[in-house]
Structure 1
């Protein structure tokens, strides 16, 4: 039962109620015992003084051998017969008289006031009055066992109704918890009946205040899932289109190469095939990189390495491809400062795509410059840049702009932007006068955890 929210709530309520009842019973027991003792002590005091006054007025003859029980004040509690016992002792130490049921042994050695004593295995509470004028000492006491039984009877009168009420109270609590949990049950039932593709928000009007935050959170989740699905749908549509185009070109150029007898036409066709294969290969790799970046490959704590190490490794990797077109890669490390530590997986994706993008957009014989320090990484090419109105869309998927290249796919800056967000960095793009284009990762520009939130 405790595995369910309803069961836990029921158990908590029952235990809380039982605990409160137990504390109340203990408090009533202690207060009742104290009150009973106070009242009975007052009665002992009154009875002892009454007997002493009767001795003074000679209404009790102390010369007789014993006291008649009728001389003791009237007893009001018939269920506790012989509760009060009385002894009259001379000041010289002889027993002058006792009431019916009083022990023959002296009940108290105290001269005056209250005291307690065990007589024949029974505890007595006694009040003593010393009457110097009459030369006697009056001892009036009652059995403590009778006092304890009186308190137990009072507490028993409280516990018996509780034993009868607890089952009924438990049933009422179970019914009340069930009715209180109905809004949550209705919410769960509505979610269970939903189709997998139904991402419409749940109506929060009329929902209980405790349920409304859950509904709001679920609606936010539905919205994020819907946006993700739409992005994936568009991504797949664009990816299919981008792959279909070079594949169709490959088929066409291959057919031309097979059918022609002209060497120049065949060579041109083969060159086009090589270009299409290169573009398709790069597109497939970037699609995989995009999927990995979106899946948060670096969201968990990855291996931290120096940024300079990654820049040098990626530059060496791209040097052969750049040299085919006579493009040089210049590295400008920070002076007098240590390289910043970055997530290895994400940094490799970002740096590779930045350098590839710069090589693709640089003219033959141009130069790609990479500079970095503790706060930024900047890759500069010598190309024509982008139109100012296109810079804001440069990181969109498959957006290639006016100055597109033959091997571009429009995913390079998208991957860089995704990696930057995961690393808590910011991608800043700008044209450089008179020519050239700057793509810069500015570290510390945002909170990486906040950047991951939609």
Structure 2
């Protein structure tokens, strides 16, 4: 079966898109600025050319006069190669009285009254625009006007500006390609780190090496190694728990098989009624023990799903404690135990009510099963000065005051694996809380406390 292609965005393309976007914006700004600068400088160059020609004409000796409307045509000298930036200039020369002495070029005759300096004139029947420079000689004996058609000047300016920015436009793809290669090469350490993480063997407790030279990778490497350490610790706990569970189940199951075989292999009438009842009772006890271990394992698996599917909701721990105590009142009465609650009227936390009830129920059941008859058990709840809400189950099962006989005080715990405590610990980890044995209050010998952040909802009972 073919693997579907990965359609997630690539980091390389993400970086390329941002870098090319920024590059294009900056590049376009420089191109626009360069083009405007080129046009301006080309216009300045043309104006300087007009002024230079005017100064040259004023220093020439020109005799005679031309007729009204007559113009001297401009002929290209034989053998002279035309230049790309060669311009068609027109020159009009007058004497001091306004008589036209010379006129060269295609421009219509301008007015003698045109002021000195640069100007844009509208000449001829078509009123075409001409850029002109007009100047008097020092003795005001002659006046000259040098002109170029404005369209020609603008075309020249556009051509010069285009020649200035064209290399930049050709260079942009080259820079983009170089950036892409540089980013790809710069991503090589990250790719090497990814391949090293992919090759890790959790079964061998491998870690990511610190050989990567880039210091930006060190927080990532340390975080990955910390996560691997936690994963390894969790695997070790699971392996240890699995071994203990297998050992714990092996004894009752082997006993059940042995008792069943004894009952099955005994000839009819060979085993008396008391022996049969004893064998059946042992089978029942072993089955209950195995069932208890399995039920604890199921509860442990349920509590192991710490990341809850539903979001946390407000939970009243005081009401939850009273509910759990009421549910176990019959079991406490049967063992002649005292089961009570000491809690405020309301005590709020954010969490999962089902899992919190599961944790508290395990503590109460452990207290009932692991203590002698007549034990005083109390569920206490409150809130510390730092805002932490706590819930604890205390008992006086270790007190030796003559009320209990030696057999009761020496009774072995039913839950030798302490799965109940593991269930509570997992539930509290899911609620960012803590669980452990606490100092028992006066009158009690054992106390286990659950602590978690509160919501500020606490009322005196």
TM over 0.5: yes
In the alignment, which residue of structure 2 is the partner of 1:450? none
Structure 1 counterpart SS, 2:391: strand
Give how far 1:230 is off: 1.9
The C-alpha deviation readout for 1:206-258, integer Å capped at 9, x for no partner, is: 54445555444443343333222222211211111122222223334545666
In the alignment, which residue of structure 2 is the partner of 1:103? 107
The C-alpha deviation readout for 1:338-377, integer Å capped at 9, x for no partner, is: 5555421321121111111121233313332122234221
314-323 vs 109-118, greater mean Cα deviation: 109-118
Task: For 1:11-160, list aligned pairs within 5 A.
Answer: 17-48=23-54, 51=57, 53-54=58-59, 59-61=61-63, 63-65=65-67, 78-88=83-93, 96=100, 99-104=103-108, 106=110, 111-119=115-123, 120=126, 122-129=128-135, 134=140, 138-158=144-164
In the alignment, which residue of structure 2 is the partner of 1:222? 228
CA distance in 1, matches of 2:155, 2:379: 96
The C-alpha deviation readout for 1:387-432, integer Å capped at 9, x for no partner, is: xxxxxxxxxxxxxxx9742355411122222222222322242345
In the alignment, which residue of structure 2 is the partner of 1:328? 338
1:382 aligns with 2:396: yes
CA distance in 2, matches of 1:16, 1:303: 46
The C-alpha deviation readout for 1:278-327, integer Å capped at 9, x for no partner, is: 33223222212222323315486234332233223322332232222122
1:410 aligns with 2:418: yes
In the alignment, which residue of structure 2 is the partner of 1:290? 300
Structure 2 counterpart SS, 1:128: strand
In the alignment, which residue of structure 1 is the partner of 2:434? 426
Structure 1 counterpart SS, 2:418: coil
Give how far 1:33 is off: 1.8
In the alignment, which residue of structure 1 is the partner of 2:359? 350
CA distance in 2, matches of 1:328, 1:283: 26
Change (3 A) 1:272 1:404: same
* 8 Å Cα contact 2:34-2:165 kept in structure 1: no
Structure 2 counterpart SS, 1:219: helix
157-166 vs 314-323, greater mean Cα deviation: 157-166
In the alignment, which residue of structure 2 is the partner of 1:306? 316
List structure 1 runs of 4+ shifted beyond 6 angstroms.
89-92, 130-133
Structure 1 counterpart SS, 2:104: coil
In the alignment, which residue of structure 2 is the partner of 1:397? none
CA distance in 2, matches of 1:348, 1:368: 17
Q: 2:380 aligns with which of 368, 371, 376?
A: 371
In the alignment, which residue of structure 1 is the partner of 2:257? 251
How big is the alpha-carbon RMSD for the aligned residues of Structure 1 and Structure 2? Answer: 4.1
Choose between structure 1 and 2 for higher RCO, CA contacts under 8 A separated by at least 6 residues.
Answer: 2
* 8 Å Cα contact 2:244-2:417 kept in structure 1: no
CA distance in 2, matches of 1:382, 1:255: 42
In the alignment, which residue of structure 1 is the partner of 2:407? none
1:360 aligns with 2:369: yes
Structure 2 counterpart SS, 1:83: coil
Give how far 1:28 is off: 2.1
* 8 Å Cα contact 2:92-2:102 kept in structure 1: yes
Aligned residues: 420
Give how far 1:379 is off: 1.6
The C-alpha deviation readout for 1:73-102, integer Å capped at 9, x for no partner, is: xx999444443323346899x772563224
CA distance in 1, matches of 2:399, 2:262: 35
Structure 1 counterpart SS, 2:312: coil
312-321 vs 187-196, greater mean Cα deviation: 187-196
Structure 2 counterpart SS, 1:99: strand
